[in-house]
Amino acid sequence: MTEIPKEEMLLKCPSTCAGCGSLLALRYILKAAGKDTVLVIPACCNSVIQGVYPYMLHTVPVYNIAFAAAAACASGMSEAFRAVGKKTNVIVYAGDGGTADIGIQALSGALERGEDFLYICYDNEAYGNTGMQRSGATPLGAITTTTPNGKTVNKKDLDRIIEAHNLPYQATACASYPADIYNKVKKALSIPGPKFIHILAPCPPGWRTPSEKTVEIGKMAVKSGIWVLWEKEYDKFTISAPSRAAMKKPSPVADYLKAQGRFRKVDDATAAKIQAQVDKNLKKIAAEAAYSEENA
Ligand SMILES: Cc1ncc(C[n+]2csc(CCOP(=O)(O)OP(=O)(O)O)c2C)c(N)n1
Ligand SMILES: [Mg+2]
């Protein structure tokens, strides 16, 4: 933490909800990226909380773009900067709806073409800005305005979809671990080509949690193993320190579910199903890390 610059790249006037996980993450993303950065933001909470020029939250240029087009826009922007010899960081900051659902075609194309930019998806697990409708990233059992009895299908495994593009750098993170975010963004931006980071961003109004518990809820996700922090640099897959510690003895997923109003309709059978999915995923991730280490 001592290496993280004290200078703030976000001004103290965000119109976020109190305890917004995506804003906390962005604070550390921009500290890592520095001034020579352009943000590309499609329609999402972050396109609203930025304010209206000249009363802006950000101290770097922001380009707002249509929902489906963030990765296409970042591709063109990055190509243009590189054509004139500039190394300016191009960072997409997009929600889960704009990434896992509506922007996935442009994203897949840009990743496959090998464009030089960093795409960050902050995942509040619903279409937050428009009032918390379910997205492909909403987890099983979660209540949203369009799943009033809890979502009946699983969260889309966005990371495995992205992984199929064989990126030079891919990682997961969580708003509750700012030093981990900072290090991952720094590393990502040091590598040429397409990079992707998927950040779990607790959302107090959407998740029905007290605003002062954002950091705690994110930590509960990691400690239970329902959210795993890892990074993949080319073929080298590593589990990040907080998850390595958590995976020795994961806490019950039920504790994480019970802490949030959005899971209040989850019955015992669904809770057991979610726990079984988490157990299976943790085994897969541990095996992947072991394989990567053996074959390094
Ligand atoms: C093509 C299109 N469809 C719908 C909308 C309305 N809209 C704006 S933001 C948003 C939700 C975005 O959800 P997500 O990407 O998860 O970001 P979050 O709001 O959760 O931060 C929607 C549906 C839009 N702007 N454009
Ligand atoms: Mg969202």
* Nearest ligand to the C-alpha atom of residue 130: 1
Inform me whether the pLDDT recorded for 52 exceeds 90.
no
Q: Sketch out the chain's domains with CATH numbers.
A: 21-294 (3.40.50.970)
HSE-CB at 63 with a 13 A cutoff on CA atoms is 19
Quote the ligand 1 centre to 6 CA distance (angstroms): 32
Give the model confidence (pLDDT) of 163-212 as tens digits.
999 999 999 999 999 999 999 999 999 999 999 999 999 999 999 999 99
Which residues surround the ion ligand 2 when the cut-off is CB under 5 Å?
A: 95-96, 124, 128
* Ligand 1 atom 9: residue of nearest CA: 44
Mean of per-residue pLDDT scores for the chain: 97
Quote the ligand 1 centre to 127 CA distance (angstroms): 6
> Angle, nearest 10°, between helix axes 21-33 and 214-224?
80
Query: CA–CA separation, 264 vs 149, rounded Å?
Result: 9
pLDDT at 296: 82
Which residue, chain included where needed, has tokens 């998740």? Answer: 207
* Position in ligand 1 atom list of the atom nearest CA 99: 15
* Nearest ligand to the C-alpha atom of residue 23: 1
* Ligand 1 atom 2: residue of nearest CA: 67
The verdict on the CB of residue 97 being under 6 Å from ligand 1 is yes
Query: CA–CA separation, 99 vs 167, rounded Å?
Result: 16
For the segment 47-61, the average pLDDT, to the nearest whole number, is 89
Give the model confidence (pLDDT) of 82-129 as tens digits.
999 999 999 999 999 999 999 999 999 999 999 999 999 999 999 999
The verdict on the CB of residue 44 being under 6 Å from ligand 1 is yes
Query: CA–CA separation, 145 vs 110, rounded Å?
Result: 32
